[in-house]
Structure 1
Amino acid sequence: MSLGANILPVFEQLGLYKPLMEIALPIVRMNMFTENTDAIGVVEVDDSKTLIGYNAICFPRPDLYDLILSQVPLEKIHFNKKVVALHEDETQVTIDCEDGSSYHGDILVGADGAYSSIRQLLYEKVSLEGLLPPSDSEDLSLSCGPEANESMIKEIYNFNNGVGGIMGELTDTTPRERISKVMLEEKLFETWHSGRVAPLGDDASQRRTGYIKAMQDAVILTNCLYDLEAWSTHDISAAFAEYKDQRYHHAKYHFEISKTNAQIMRDRQVKLPTCCIA
């Protein structure tokens, strides 16, 4: 996983930049290869910190999870919960979980991924109110699971890995539970909030650059909520609307770029070079 100057200032503001750098390595160059590992060229980025204040960095994703979790009191985290219903009134929003437990608060932010149960429950509510756009009611396709993993591993096993070996050398040394295959079609949703509920990140739009955009979404949403002087449903809805106003055009821009690139590669049968980050 990698992060750069478009989100690292947030980690610095939160006091997490130094701990993050302890688990990360700076990216100093990108070596480009063809699928046959023939060298195309090198992009030197070791002067990034001088130019823009930060080096791009890379690190194991689980290490970032551990770092963030270490900053949150354990009593505020509840694992193995599946939300099956949500209810709103003028003072709060409540979620019901599959195990019979319930939780309530001023707002509910759905950050549980592209096939978010929060977004699905929200859309059911908005649909009953006759306010859900037809495009948001279209189903998304999803392909995943252990069977998909094994077939993928066999298919790519003898592929060049870009650094002189084969992909099988990487899959053989990676715990099977850390390997996943997900085929996700990209989609830009129009409904980003209703009442006291708002999806965030992939809940609002599926994009291949989703994790950084989701972090940026969280920053903007936090700032919009920070400015609130009252917590009525009307005030919260206004803050959510401001959040969408600030983020939607960014999401649409990246969605269109990604869609265009995918179409070019599909129609022109473009072979992408392999990128090895050093």
Structure 2
Amino acid sequence: MKIKNIAKSLSGVGGTLAVFVPSNAGLVIAADRRQTPKGIFCDGLEKILRPDQPARTAVVVTGLITLRDMPDLTGSALCDHLANTPAPIDFGRTTLAFLTAENTPVAQFDGQKFTDAVFGDVGPYLAAGKLSGLAGSRIAQILIASYDPVARTSSILAYGVDLTADRRFLVQPLPVTASTTLQGPSFNLDSERILLPFGEVPYLRQHVLSGHGQMYLTGAYSEFLSKTRVRDVEPSLAAAAALEVIEATAKTTEIIPAPSGIGGGSSALLLGEETVTLK
């Protein structure tokens, strides 16, 4: 693979708030629809991605979703360019291709093989020095979710994509919750009800769940907190609570700017007996 413009580092396009909520009929996933290149808001991006196979599986990438040479454009022209020009590194595209090719349940996911697939796409650009500007950072977080309708179990895998200060490229599994080592990455009907945010989580916790944005969390989220177990959470409530958290965060960013843009609308999906678009 020939890499052009070796001296120029690739820039990231990303920024996401995604929320996962296990329910008694499947896993609800919601996400905002804004990306923020060069400080410009580009809205309407679908961030909940679905592979051709396996069934009842979805992918969300937070952080820098893609890496590319950033054109000298601004405003809507930049947004149009990004929407219509494939990026050389696209973590969502890589993950979907891997899942479709493997076609195995998340329970049988081969993390090492996945790491090799991601490195296969990134390696040439890393060797060419095009990721040097990202050294010492977590580039992205890749979330892979699935639902088993027989066991009525939701599963979430999280992988951190890191470039260390000494420029070692790492793809490593991350705990989904503080109790991952005890609970595992799966949630059944008897699991405690839980709402799992990914992406701009520090901002969400500080400014929404414990700050200004609390004023916007007066409906579905409050009702969700009154539930005890996953079996008590209907998909409609899970979706309403997840979308309310995203909307509250978007409203809060209008008062207290977030590190990256959050907003631009939202979308929601249910991985259940069938995969259903909720919004």
Same fold flag (TM > 0.5) = no
Of structures 1 and 2, the one scoring higher in RCO (CA 8 A, sep 6+) is 2
Please identify which structure carries the higher helix content: 1
Q: Which has the larger radius of gyration?
A: 1
Instruction: Using structure 2 for the length normalisation, give the TM-score.
Output: 0.23
Q: TM-score, normalized by length of structure 1?
A: 0.23
